[in-house]
């Protein structure tokens, strides 16, 4: 996990869209789970990450705001891949966000082959992944 704090403008479109949504309804817990996992990779300051997460959860009046969703997923689970996020599987604990319409890929998403939202923000992690893939499959 990176030790750099990133600006919202550096976040992938799916995260920026979640942060901007006024409400979510069905899928709120899944979206908040994804947000917590993403912040666990990108935002090293747990208090700042929790404040970002809680502001969204409260704005949505999400049940997750009163649970341990953030604590259970921040820095404890890997961020779901773009494929997983866009494969409708049903309700929580699956973390698909397709139904809420947050995924709107841009050019940068295409450049990282829509592999994982953390690579959008953290180029070093993406380069490290590419190196590992090359070493695994020479």
Cα separation, 43 vs 50, whole angstroms: 10
pLDDT digits (tens, 9 = 90+) for 17-64: 999 999 998 889 999 999 999 999 998 899 999 999 999 999 999 998
Burial of 62 (0-12, 13-18, 19+ CB in 10 A): buried
* Backbone region of residue 46 per phi and psi (left: phi > 0; alpha: psi in -120 to 50; beta: other values): alpha
Establish if 41 belongs to a structural domain: yes
Establish if 52 belongs to a structural domain: yes
pLDDT digits (tens, 9 = 90+) for 60-110: 999 988 999 999 999 999 999 999 999 888 666 678 899 899 999 999 899
Establish if 1 belongs to a structural domain: no
Secondary structure of the chain in HEC code, one letter for each residue: CCCCCCCHHHCCHHHHHHHHCCCCCCCHHHHHHHHHHHHHHHCCCHHHHHHHHHHHHHHCCCHHHHCCHHHHHCCCCCCCCHHHHCCCCCCCCCCCCHHHCCCCCCHHHHHCCCCCHHHHHCHHHHHHHHHHHHHHCC
Residue with tokens 């604990």: 93
Establish if 79 belongs to a structural domain: yes
Establish if 71 belongs to a structural domain: yes
The range of the structural domain enclosing residue 46 comes to 8-136
Establish if 27 belongs to a structural domain: yes
Establish if 82 belongs to a structural domain: yes
- How many domains does the chain divide into? 1
Establish if 73 belongs to a structural domain: yes
Cβ-contact 70, 50 below 8 angstroms: yes
pLDDT value at residue 61: 95
Average pLDDT of every residue of the chain: 87
């Amino acid at each position: 996990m990176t030790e750099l704090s990133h600006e919202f403008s550096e976040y992938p479109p799916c995260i920026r869209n979640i942060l901007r949504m006024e409400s979510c309804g069905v899928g709120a817990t899944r979206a908040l789970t994804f947000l917590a996992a993403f912040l666990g990779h990108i935002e090293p300051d747990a208090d700042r990450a929790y404040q970002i997460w809680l502001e969204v959860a409260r704005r949505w009046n999400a049940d997750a705001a009163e649970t341990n969703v953030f604590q259970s997923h921040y820095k404890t689970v890997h961020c779901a891949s773009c494929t997983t996020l866009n494969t409708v599987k049903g309700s929580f604990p699956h973390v698909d966000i397709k139904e809420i319409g947050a995924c709107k890929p841009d050019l940068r998403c295409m450049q990282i082959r829509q592999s994982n939202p953390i690579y959008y923000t953290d180029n070093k992690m993406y380069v490290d992944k590419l190196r590992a893939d090359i070493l695994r499959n020479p």
